[in-house]
A and B are shown apart, each in its own frame.
Chain A
Amino acid sequence: MNQVLEVSNLHKAFGGIKAVNGVSFSVNEGEILGIIGPNGCGKSTLFNCILGQLEPTEGAVKLDGRDVTNMRPSELNRLGVSRTFQLLQVFPELSVRENLILAGQEHEGTMLSRFFGSRDAGLTAKAEQMIGFFKLGHLADAKAGGLSYGQQKLLDAAMAFMAGPRLVLLDEPAGGVNLTMLGDLKERLRAINAEQGATFVVIEHNMDFVMSLCSRVIVLAEGKVLAEGTPAEVRANPAVIEAYLGH
């Protein structure tokens, strides 16, 4: 199977504290990989190191076999790696449609074409498609800041998919979303995975969400990989039960 992302021996220390302590794993094309672990186990730090937001102390990250360690977030995104954040990150002053156009505009053309070319960078159709897909149709012209939390969360996810990414890293997509929305979100993610063959890595606290969405799960504890396997295998692993699920 094709490996999209390969993380090897990643370390990150803040002063004396080792937040990530030698993590290695790989992500196969087309899979939905879940990463779980108790609070403070280094999940978000791991994400930020992979995505160039933080500089890893040691280790390497490869995308399609190419070394992308320490690459700037914007360059990584243009190579097809997209992400969402734990906290909501939409642009409140822009409309829903503008948010989506923004998420796609840097992926085509040049700086000059973005200046002289059309105002929507030819992305209105694509944006409308995403708006329909995430069921935000009636809100296309509303300012993103005025949307409900769940709607903003959907928009946030829609922005991550706008440019047709190869790999999407989702940081707690289910956090703070109500049950109905949650079902919607899961269904949308599955559909994109099936239709476009996009590869996902999902960090989550919500066990049910992860176990029902992901094909493979990695358990992190104290900055290290504790277990790895299918949701059923992980659930049955005594070390995992001890460290995490037992609580």
Chain B
Amino acid sequence: MTAPATHSAAPAARRLPLPAFVDGTLLTLVAAAVILWFVPSGMGRYGTYVLSLWLVMSVAVMGLNLTLGYAGLKSLAQAAFMGIGAYATALLTSKVGLNWYASFAISGLLTFAVGLVLGFPALRVKAHYLAFVTLAFSTLIWLVLRNEQWLTGGVFGLSNIPRPSFFGLKLDGALAFHRFVVVVTFLLAVVLWWMIRSPWGRAFTALRENPIRAASLGIDTRMYTLLAFAIGSAYAGFAGALYAPLVEFIDPSPFSLSQSFFLLLMVVAGGAGYLLGPFIGALLGVVLPEWLRFAGSLYLIIFAAIVMLLLIACPQGMSGLLERGWAKLTSKKEGAR
């Protein structure tokens, strides 16, 4: 039994004159990027903003999916890492006057480094200690964001965060910036796609399934575990660097511990360990509540309840459900023939 995703991709790649490394996932990413480039044309400012927000959150969820879904680690600080990235970018672009690209890189490097520093002592002991260390870290970051007014503006936050430009082209409009977000998200997704199918991805899967056996095959489990966590955290930093210019005003509230829990639920809802799962998870967690405005804060309860039901019925999340449905459909077709 092979997964339907790889199954359907193989013949497609043979039929079309495409390089051997192109698979179904990559084609899906390209197609989605093209669609998302054009789709908001008639949606207005707010609709475009929601789409951009969806992609930005997807980047954070993608990183957490690497940590949780591929390497099997619980990180409860993804929102805090996103906060570090957002504040770093906001401060560097609006106060220091650095350009966005450099700030973006610094945000990623900073969160990567913090991930290493946090992960090293925690993973030395036991994998689930990472959950408690990141829990503590999350609270600590929140305190700093709220209390260090001179730097972070405290509860009043930071405003007038500039949007980047692209080779002199201003990206201040909602649509222009959305397209920029589409490109950046696409590039980040492709990097992750590449990583997952490289030997690294195989090692990540191995240390989730059986770390002791993995170590006996020469896999430096400590190094790979740390890398998965640090890269996952860096993706949160990247997401933060996109989030700050998107909303143009940040305060501590979207970077709290509850938000980190919420991001974890999005990973699970979308399907932990599926490359496209985070987009589905963030769609359910970010976009759907914007459309279901009437549900108000009840939406959070509904979402959490849906995730619990999914965990009982299909721990592979929506991606798993889709995969099952697809398998059923194709087997029915074959039966009819």
Binding site for B on A (CB under 8 A): 51, 53, 72-75, 77-78, 82-83, 85, 89-95, 98, 101-103, 105-107, 111, 114-117, 119, 121, 141-143, 146, 159, 163
Q: Which residues in B have their C-beta under 8 angstroms from that of A95? A: 2
Residues of B within 8 A of A111 (CB): 223
Report yes or no: B213 in contact with A85, Cβ–Cβ below 8 A. Answer: yes
| In the complex with contacts A89-B210, A141-B2, A74-B198 CB distance below 8 A | no
- A85: chain B residues at CB < 8 Å are 212-213, 216
Which B-chain residue is minimally distant from A87 (CB atoms)?
Answer: B213
Within 209-254 of B, Cβ neighbours of A (below 8 Å) are at 209-210, 212-221, 223
A106 partner, pick from B21, B213, B220, beta carbons under 8 A: B220
Contacts of B213 in A (CB 8 A): 85, 89-91
Residues of B within 8 A of A83 (CB): 216
User: Which residues in chain B, 28-46, are within 8 Å of chain A measured between CB atoms?
Assistant: none
Closest beta carbon of chain A to B204's beta carbon, Å: 11
**Known contacts A85-B213, A89-B210; A101 and B202 CB within 8 A of each other:** yes
Greatest chain A CB density within 10 A among B205, B209, B213, B217 is at B217
What is the bound-complex CA distance between A90 and B216, given in angstroms?
A: 12
A77 near B202 (CB under 8 angstroms)?
Answer: no
Q: How many residues of B contact A (CB 8 A)?
A: 25
B interface residues with partner A (beta carbon < 8 Å): 1-2, 21, 195, 197-200, 202-203, 205-206, 209-210, 212-221, 223
**Residue of chain B at shortest CB distance from A143:** B1
A92 to chain B: which residues have CB within 8 Å?
209
Contact of B200 among A114, A141, A146 (CB under 8 A): A114
A105 close to B215 (CB less than 8 A): no
Task: Report how far A181 CA is from B205 CA in the complex, Å.
Answer: 29
**8 pairs of A and B residues whose beta carbons are closest in the complex:** A77-B218, A106-B218, A89-B213, A114-B199, A73-B215, A105-B199, A74-B215, A78-B218
Query: In the docked arrangement, what's the CA distance between A117 and B199, Å?
Result: 9
B216 touches A119 (CB 8 A): no
Q: Does A115 contact B195, Cβ atoms closer than 8 Å?
A: yes
Name the one of A107, A116, A143 contacting B218, with C-beta atoms under 8 angstroms.
Answer: A107
Q: Which residue of B lies closest to A121 (CB)?
A: B199
Question: In the complex, what residues of A have CB within 8 A of residue B212's CB?
Answer: 53, 73, 85, 89
**Which residues of the partner chain B approach A116 to less than 8 Å between Cβ atoms?**
198
Asked if B217 and A106 sit within 8 Å, CB to CB, the answer is yes
B203 contacts A106, C-beta separation under 8 Å = yes
Q: Which of B213, B214, B220, B221 has the most CB of A within 10 A?
A: B213
Residues B198 and A119 in contact, CB atoms below 8 Å apart: yes
How many Å lie between the Cα of A106 and that of B216 in the bound state? 11
**Residues of chain B lying within 8 A (CB to CB) of residue A105:** 199, 202-203
Given A74-B219, A89-B212, 9 additional A-B pairs, CB 8 A: A74-B217, A77-B216, A91-B205, A102-B202, A102-B219, A106-B217, A115-B199, A116-B198, A163-B217
Q: Are A74 and B205 in contact (CB-based, < 8 A)?
A: no
Are A74 and B221 in touch, CB under 8 angstroms?
yes
Residues of B within 8 A of A51 (CB): 216
Of B21, B200, B210, B216, chain A has the most CB atoms within 10 Å of the CB of B216
Residues of A within 8 A of B215 (CB): 72-74, 77
Please determine whether A103 and B217 come into contact, CB atoms closer than 8 angstroms.
yes
A107: chain B residues within 8 A (beta carbon): 218
> Once the chains are docked, how many angstroms separate the CA of A111 from the CA of B203?
11
